[in-house]
Chain A
Amino acid sequence: MKKISEDDLTLLYYGEHDDPALAATVASSQELSARFDALCEELKRVDSFLPPEPDEDYGVEVWRRISPKLAAESPTSGGTKNTFGRSWLSALSQPRFSLAGVFSLVVVAVLAFMLGRNGVQQTNVDAPDLVANPATLLEGIDLAGINSEQLLARTVSGHLEQVNLVLTQFANMTESSPTEAEWATDMLVANRLYRQVASKRGNHKLAAFLADLEPLLIEMAYQAHTNSPATRERMQQEVKDGLLFRVRVMANQLNKPGIST
């Protein structure tokens, strides 16, 4: 019988030994069992290497600290020129859109890449399906077979529907909340992403429309909590007076078959 080393026992302890019969072999041998027990006992002591447990809302605190920096990382943030020298494609490779899970973070990058491609004409996949079930995108879809104009229209339409919800909530709340700012941040980064795509694809009307949304989203994301009630009321009025309506109209237009504005 092959000699069982300490390394074999270590692999057995961590459930990584290639030989599925090793456990039985060890169990049937008094000497091996004793060695394995000693290993278990000693490694159990490693468990005492315990970190201090962070507060329950530690994640919230981390997000609070990093979110301004994340927004600042946006290649076109703050209304300034793009000083990062990044190409639009590399900018698009950073997912910014709230979809439905970890998959969606990857999907956004893929979507953005597809949307930015030239010369793609035909669609095999319905955009809403992609959004609802992003995993399908990763299952061997022919990327060259996507109608990127239609995909852009449908994706931005979904984005505008979310903006619509956020703005509606904003227009009807008397006080700002952290959730409001967080949603606005998400909307803002997604908005920039799609604006860049639209601009690159020559859809200047859509790009201009998305650009019009940004000042309000910026204000909601970063200044809402410091704004005076009067300022908030002014912003809410701006939303009610026309922006909300324009968002809904544009979302509907983009959702019509064959229309990409």
Chain B
Amino acid sequence: MAFRELVLEHSHAMFRLAWRLTCDKSAADDIVQEAFIKAWRKLGDFKMQSSFQTWLHRITVNTAMDYLRKQARHKHFETKEPEWETAPQAVETLNAGEQIDLREQTEAAMMKLSEIERTALLLRHFEGHSIKEIAQILDLTTGACKQAVFRAVRKMRIELRPLVTT
């Protein structure tokens, strides 16, 4: 298998992660490409202590965080138009208007989290990484990582609770 095969295998997952970190398709595209180039450069540093996917996710997350910091994306998130027009349908029981509303509110809630909290939650909730793996990806202790997930969950629940009860 060549590096190309790794790119083909992991591109979609890396895009989803990059998009969730940035909420920007164009930025996610750039991050995926940059992350693979970084991975290529750093392949010699890859240790078998973690899975290849975990290692790639670490590079993707770091690249995305660099991007966010450079672009000061946080401000942008609060004002940018959502990209829901191409997103797949999420909650079948809601009508289209409600779905968009839910997505927007979920996105807004996500963006209120700190970078670490959001990333930890995304990696746990969507990518299925264990707390230990997330700690490796974010270069945190397991305890600190756990606390980041807890904080993110608490904040998200506060934000999303009204959507559940309505």
Contacts and interface: CB of A to CB of B under 8 A. Distances in A.
Nearest to B122: A49
Interface in B1-27: 1-4, 6-12, 15-16, 19-20, 25
A105 B6 contact: yes
Interface of A: 6-7, 10-11, 14, 16, 38-39, 41-43, 45-54, 58-60, 62-63, 65-67, 69-70, 73, 90, 92-102, 104-106, 109, 138, 182, 185-186
Interface of B: 1-4, 6-12, 15-16, 19-20, 25, 28, 32-33, 36-37, 40-41, 43-46, 48, 52, 83, 86-88, 90-91, 99, 102-103, 106-107, 110, 121, 124-126, 130-131, 146, 149-150, 153-154, 156-157, 160-161, 163-164
Contact of B43 (A46, A67, A95): A95
B83 A52 contact: yes
Given A70-B37, A70-B40, A109-B43, 6 more contacts: A38-B164, A45-B102, A45-B164, A48-B103, A51-B25, A62-B33
Mostly, the B contact residues are helix
Nearest to B89: A50
14 contacts: A38-B164, A46-B160, A48-B99, A50-B87, A50-B88, A51-B20, A51-B28, A51-B87, A63-B4, A63-B7, A93-B43, A93-B44, A99-B1, A101-B1
Given A6-B154, A16-B130, A95-B43, A49 B20 contact: yes
Counting from the closest, the 9 A-B pairs by CB-CB distance are A93-B44, A51-B19, A59-B8, A59-B11, A52-B86, A98-B2, A48-B90, A45-B160, A186-B2
A59 B12 contact: yes
